[in-house]
Structure 1
Amino acid sequence: MKSTGIVRKLDQLGRIVIPKELRSMLNIEIKTPLAILIDGDQIVLEKYQPYKACMVTGESSDENLTLANGNIVLSKEGAEQIIKELQQQLESTASR
């Protein structure tokens, strides 16, 4: 695990502030759900992604597509958005 060199103290209610630089770097915005995990004697925070949540829209459904050995999950809307963007990218590179 990579160290950031940033140290924060807990407040009276057991809260810590995740520095803005780290939140920006990891695309963590207000109300982003975070999972709290224990790994030995370490507390690990990670962005929570429900099972079968679309990587584009965030929609969670059993009908979402699972691709690339489970590494990519897309809803119908997410897949359509990806297809549209890929077509635009391919058209722009073909015209160069």
Structure 2
Amino acid sequence: MITVKSKRIMDAQGRVVLPKPVREELGISPEDRVRVIGKQDEIVMEKYIEEQIEEAQMCYVTGSASPDCQSFSGGIRLSKEAALMILEEWKSKQ
């Protein structure tokens, strides 16, 4: 696996262009889906292959597939871990 370090500027719509060597290494083509996970001070992006992970099991907050992921109002899917994270954040802002 190659390591590519480069600086990119996010545009007004929140888009960032991935370097070509990264797209090639991961086999990412136009219209492919990617999964984006935010963890403290880093962003992890990986190619999303629907056959590997059922979208119905994907938590919107953690980005992880889990059998305990459940649908809530508005169709948002959360794992127990994500619900607890949101609850803690909610309490800290009170």
Taking structure 2 as the reference length, the TM-score comes to 0.47
Taking structure 1 as the reference length, the TM-score comes to 0.46
Mark the structure with the bigger radius of gyration: 1
